[in-house]
Chains A and B, each alone.
Chain A
Amino acid sequence: MAPLFLPHPRLDELIRLLLAQGFAVIGPRVREGMIAYGEIAAAAELPWGWHDAQGPGFYRLTRSDAPRCFAWANGPQAIKPFLFAPQETLWRAEKKDGCLVFTPVTPAPRPLAFLGVRACDLAAATIQDRVFLGQAVVDPYYAARSEELFVISVNCTHPAATCFCASTGDGPQATAGFDISLTELDDGFLAEVGTQAGRDLLAALHLAPATAAQQAEAAQALAHAAQVQTRALPGRNLAAALFSRLEHPRWDWVAQRCLACGNCTQVCPTCFCHAEEDRPALDGSGTVHERRWDSCFSAGHAWLHGFQVRPEIRHRYRQWLLHKLAGWHEQFGRSGCVGCGRCIAACPVGIDLTEEVAALLAEADHGG
């Protein structure tokens, strides 16, 4: 099917159709100085005229009167928290009849329609699906949250200086995982169909086909978005290269700068580490067992009854980078990095994984 054209003023109709079908619509909004996803009811809530500037340890929003609502690159928050909750109750335990009773607490499935997901976040969601749904044991919490989704992606025409999705193969254009894919022009969107559900929704809007000129403009914008990316990873599978550099002096140099704050892991759309914890239930009826995001930079992550497997920051940064770019291949068949650049912008000291990888690979192999 040839792409259709969705004029900006008709975006509201699309949102209303999704709401009418019972979806909660999740879209980007400006909140606390950043663009973050949340529930929206109208197109007016989108970040019209907002732009971002990003760099190592740097994220700022600026405004113009440009007539676009997607003239920016992803902010610190991915769509991950909607599917893999930062904190949730797994079950409750009560004492009863001299023994214990366990009751699961699974989230009620809630149909979510994401509006404006970027290619990197779609790729990341596919990776998280492999972690939580694609192994022998399926995670019922993640499964419940992702049971009914509708995904409208918006291809990236304004990558940030921190982006490198072109080198990981995950962007700037979404190629899979969407029901509808949009590319923004000054007066509206090119709309392409990914699934039957997407086709049905667009059919209800009775849109005109996009003109050849509009299609050419969109293609050019996407090619440009890939070309302007200055950062890159030097390959899609760096497992062998990194595992052979376990004792490279660069790990000491990164450890001197890294604060082990874990910001990089909190913003990363693929990081899946979590910890479990028991808490007394608020109503005094026993305890609730919760899980919350954890980070391989935290002191407790590799704790082993009185022994710390990764006592030094050098070990923790190495664990993070090696897992993401090396161990991940063995576990999930691809790298765990989608090139979103969030960890670079969110790092308070501006550590840039592309720079670290380049340094590790450039110098002679120092054994390992």
Chain B
Amino acid sequence: MAVNPYLPQPARILERRQESATIFTLRLRFEDPVLRETYRFQPGQFNMVYLHGVGEVPISIVSDPEWEGVFDHTIRRVGRVTEGLAALKEGDCVGIRGPYGRGWPLTEAEGRDVLIITGGLGCAPVVSVIQYVIRRRRRFGRLTIIQGVKHSEDLIYRDQYEAWAQMPHTDVHVAANVAQGHWPWHVGPVTELIAQAAPDPGRTVAMMCGPEGMMLTASKLLLAKGMSAEAIFLSLERNMQCGLGHCGHCQIGGKFVCRDGPVFRFAEIRGLLGVRGF
């Protein structure tokens, strides 16, 4: 039998970066040299990250798929496993299984305008796609980034947002419900910025991640602007135990988020998104 798909592979922390009070990035490298060469992923896919003695959690891969031999996870400290991961140091090891799921539609988006909408704290899946498009800027049309945070201090990668805003054919709009200090962007709910956006419906691919209520509202606004439910993509989160389509925890209706997602077309999940209990 082939390699046991349930078995994590040891990976060492090469670098640890604190992004904000609760968010940190781990740069990882597999111990196995063959795996370093053969491991491939797509932005939007995730790994199951194992903390010894505690457990495994799904975490998106945020680095560029073309980097060789290393990959990054940006993690928010929220509970048992992520708190333990936060305490690890450079040189420590974790277990990694993956990559899993369906990532962002980057091939489909080539040559088209890209509209990225994100809300909430440090939405890692979307950082991967922004970085990907920025590094291959000429392959894509206009890039619009709309990011919402509750509080201006929650915006991580603030320097990057400022740098992205300087790129050609790139618009960056950030909204904070509450702003403190110097805040050059919008104050108010992110949906106000989406309402102002004017995507070219025939040319645009929208990709979003964040609280589902926000994504539902944003999707409806984009549909009202003439966009197709096939061109709007959302990354979902559910409890995940296996990442393999076996454990049943990640279901939304007839979909397994781990296998059929985590990135879905709005058309695929429209009936269940925002329905309490799914």
Option from B7, B79, B244 in Cβ contact (under 8 Å) with A306:
B79
Option from B93, B94, B246, B256 in Cβ contact (under 8 Å) with A98:
B93
Are B4 and A91 in touch, CB under 8 angstroms? yes
Q: Which of B187-195, B196-204, B270-278 contacts A (4 or more CB under 8 A)?
A: B270-278
A13 CB-CB contact with B under 8 Å? no
Are B237 and A304 in touch, CB under 8 angstroms? yes
Given contacts A100-B95, A304-B239, A305-B78, contact A135 B53 (CB under 8 A): no
Which residue on chain B has the smallest CB distance to residue A131? B246
A108–B56 alpha-carbon span in the complex (Å): 26
The contact size tier of chain A is 35 or more
A25 CB-CB contact with B under 8 Å? no
A305–B276 alpha-carbon span in the complex (Å): 17
- Please name all residues of chain B whose beta carbon is closer than 8 Å to the beta carbon of A278 when the two chains form the complex: 53-55
A93–B55 alpha-carbon span in the complex (Å): 11
- Please name all residues of chain B whose beta carbon is closer than 8 Å to the beta carbon of A131 when the two chains form the complex: 246
B267 → chain A closest CB, angstroms: 14
Are B277 and A140 in touch, CB under 8 angstroms? no
A304–B251 alpha-carbon span in the complex (Å): 13
Are B238 and A304 in touch, CB under 8 angstroms? yes
The 0/1 profile, CB within 8 Å of A marked 1, for residues 236-278 of chain B is 0111011011111101011110010000000000010001111
Are A275 and B246 in touch, CB under 8 angstroms? no
- Please name all residues of chain B whose beta carbon is closer than 8 Å to the beta carbon of A136 when the two chains form the complex: 245, 259
Which residue on chain B has the smallest CB distance to residue A330? B254
A236 CB-CB contact with B under 8 Å? no
Given contacts A104-B7, A274-B246, A327-B254, contact A314 B277 (CB under 8 A): yes
Which residue on chain A has the smallest CB distance to residue B248? A273
A255–B91 alpha-carbon span in the complex (Å): 51
Which residue on chain B has the smallest CB distance to residue A103? B7
A100–B82 alpha-carbon span in the complex (Å): 18
- Please name all residues of chain A whose beta carbon is closer than 8 Å to the beta carbon of B10 when the two chains form the complex: 99-102
The 0/1 profile, CB within 8 Å of B marked 1, for residues 115-139 of chain A is 0000000000000000110011111
A329 CB-CB contact with B under 8 Å? yes
Are B8 and A102 in touch, CB under 8 angstroms? yes
B73 CB-CB contact with A under 8 Å? no
A24–B12 alpha-carbon span in the complex (Å): 45
Which residue on chain B has the smallest CB distance to residue A84? B246
Q: How many residues of chain B have a CB within 8 Å of chain A?
A: 45
Are B277 and A315 in touch, CB under 8 angstroms? yes
A309–B237 alpha-carbon span in the complex (Å): 10
B15 CB-CB contact with A under 8 Å? no
A323 CB-CB contact with B under 8 Å? yes
A102–B53 alpha-carbon span in the complex (Å): 12
Given contacts A99-B10, A100-B93, A104-B6, contact A309 B246 (CB under 8 A): no
Are A331 and B53 in touch, CB under 8 angstroms? no
Given contacts A136-B245, A273-B248, A305-B78, contact A104 B277 (CB under 8 A): no
- Please name all residues of chain A whose beta carbon is closer than 8 Å to the beta carbon of B7 when the two chains form the complex: 90-91, 102, 104
Are B246 and A302 in touch, CB under 8 angstroms? no
A93–B7 alpha-carbon span in the complex (Å): 10
A95–B95 alpha-carbon span in the complex (Å): 11
The 0/1 profile, CB within 8 Å of A marked 1, for residues 74-88 of chain B is 000011001000000
A272–B256 alpha-carbon span in the complex (Å): 13
- Please name all residues of chain B whose beta carbon is closer than 8 Å to the beta carbon of A222 when the two chains form the complex: none
Are B55 and A276 in touch, CB under 8 angstroms? yes
B9 CB-CB contact with A under 8 Å? yes
- Please name all residues of chain B whose beta carbon is closer than 8 Å to the beta carbon of A101 when the two chains form the complex: 10
Could you name 25 residue pairs across A and B whose Cβ atoms are closer than 8 Å? A93-B95, A98-B93, A99-B12, A100-B94, A131-B246, A135-B245, A136-B259, A139-B246, A239-B254, A273-B247, A274-B246, A274-B247, A276-B55, A276-B242, A294-B247, A302-B249, A305-B82, A309-B239, A315-B276, A319-B277, A319-B278, A326-B253, A326-B254, A327-B253, A368-B275
The 3 closest A-B pairs by CB, nearest first: A330-B254, A315-B277, A273-B248
Known A273-B249, A302-B249; further 15 A-B contacts with Cβ < 8 A: A95-B52, A99-B31, A100-B8, A136-B245, A272-B248, A278-B55, A286-B52, A286-B53, A287-B52, A304-B238, A305-B78, A306-B78, A327-B251, A327-B254, A327-B255
